[in-house]
Amino acid sequence: MSQAVPENRVVVGALVSLKLRLLRNGLRRSPGRTALYVTGTVLGLLFAGALALAFAMLDGHALGDAGDAAVVLATALTIGWAALPLFLFASDESADPTRLTMLPLRPWPMLRGSLLAALIGPGPVISLVLLSGAAMAGAHGAASAVVAVAGVPLTVLCLVALSRSVAAGNARLLSSRRGKDFAIFGGLLFALLIQVGNITTQSVLGKPGSELDLAPLAPFASVARWIPPISALDAARTAGDGRYGLAALQLAATAALLALLLRWWLASLQQLMVTADASTLDVSPGVATSRTWGFLPAGRAGAVMQRHLRYAWREPRAKAAVFTSIGMTLVLTVLSVVQGWATVYLVVMAGMFLGLQMINLFGMDGSAFWMVCATLATPADARAELRGRAYAVLLYALPITVLLGLVLGTVTGQWAELAPALGLALSALGCGIGLGAVFSVIAPYSMPADGNPMRSAAPGQSGLTMLNTFGSMIGVLVLSLPVGGCLVWAGLADGPTWPVLPLGLLYGAVVAALGVRLAAARLLDRLPEILASAIER
């Protein structure tokens, strides 16, 4: 037993030292990364300090209970910490317990070391500052201060344990392709929640110059303040009201939750250390053969369509790009409806972003692109390759654009404007496909090898990424000017605007076909450069 205690301390110290080394070595990669990390940390701490000071001064300067605002802040932090593994699991090496499962470590020392290592970084410090200010918002007297000294660190510890227990309990799922798909949908949901929070904040703040009204937060706070770990923060307000037994009960509830989270974390670590990953086991009775789907055209173009559609569904980064285009349109639609500036012409943005899925076509292939290169021998092969990829993008982009147009028409009631809006959207879609094909050939860039859907380019490729993204967007806007000009002319002349729909469809098809043909003419000559960028990670 006497030897086990020093051994446990060595393991804990080694894990903490490992976190510090990972942080230091990550900052050594480039001066820009170091500057960005330091700047972000300083700005985050300054913002957290200012917000904490504002919460501390909130009592007596707003209508309603300042403690309700503190409860809402603690709830937002709890949700954020619980969802943190979904977004940062693939980029944070210290959050993945499977990296340590092959080492001869006991689960309990690994748990303690991982918990202490998780407390190192700007995230826990910023949360500590914010929760300290939130605790002071509803505190009254010395009893509140004493309870806050215990409640705030307990809340931070519970938040960190919550995040790491979620990561450990779902480690193999989060590191799989399906887990990365969840990250995509979680990112879209997070963007929607930000807009909901923005609308809620505006309703609380009211008009400029009016007194801050916290009354709308009371129904939510009256329930959330009894839920751990939020209850530990609210215990300071309860103690200030003289209800010491209830404050102790709130602290005990959070402590019990912390114990349960640590138990869940420990059980997850034990399971990861003694069980194999089922996703690596071969359970298929034989080798399946792949056939071209029946609804696709025959020949090389059909085979390329099938390959590209498989990438779009199975590759997390490709799926992230598609659903981000849809999600941005939906978020802006909801925001525009709430704020009263909704318009059916938002579908044009969806058409442009979906058309730009043609950007960097070959970077997604990675090292497998050399097999494609081996089959590109003639200009006809190059045209079929690019046509197949363009058809694949159109196969999902065209119905999605039309469906979003119908949704916007239903929400806004602007059915008379739906036809010209779809015409502009389809022209932007075609221009995006044509420009994307050209930029894929003349300005390819590497994709990161880790498959993280939150990263779209390998290190050192930011210049080419900016050229592809913003150059294509500006190009789509410029190329779509003729269709937009026809719409403006029809409006000024009081003429019908529905002909913009067939005009936009025809114009987009011509630009897309021209772009694909121009890109195919350069593809064979650019194969060495494209292959080098595809396999460079």
Interval 91-143: pLDDT, tens: 555 666 777 767 777 878 888 888 888 888 888 999 999 998 888 887 778 88
pLDDT for residue 181: 57
What DSSP designation does 63 have?
A: B
- Strand, coil or helix: 101: coil
pLDDT for residue 336: 75
Residue 511 has pLDDT above 90, yes or no: yes
pLDDT for residue 435: 92
Measured at the CA of 61, the angle between CA 59 and CA 67, to 5 degrees, comes to 30
For 433, residues 6+ apart whose C-beta sits below 8 A from its C-beta are: 355, 358, 390, 393, 394, 508, 512, 515, 516
In the block, which residue shows the tokens 């696709």?
Answer: 296
Average pLDDT, the chain: 79
The pTM of this model reads 0.60
Residue 258 has pLDDT above 90, yes or no: yes
pLDDT-based confidence at 254, cuts 50/70/90? Answer: very high
Measured at the CA of 385, the angle between CA 384 and CA 388, to 5 degrees, comes to 80
Measured at the CA of 177, the angle between CA 173 and CA 182, to 5 degrees, comes to 70
pLDDT for residue 99: 72
Give me the mean pLDDT over the 223-234 stretch.
89
pLDDT-based confidence at 186, cuts 50/70/90? Answer: low
Residue 201 has pLDDT above 70, yes or no: no
Q: Which residue has the higher pLDDT, 334 or 432?
A: 432
Residue 507 has pLDDT above 80, yes or no: yes
In the block, which residue shows the tokens 């930029």?
Answer: 439
Quick one: what percent of the chain has pLDDT higher than 90?
Answer: 23
pLDDT-based confidence at 256, cuts 50/70/90? Answer: very high
Q: What are phi and psi for residue 65, nearest 5 degrees?
A: -90, 125
Distances (CA, A) of 89 to 178, 364, 366: 13, 21, 22
d(CA 537, CA 532): 10
pLDDT for residue 2: 47
d(CA 234, CA 218): 13
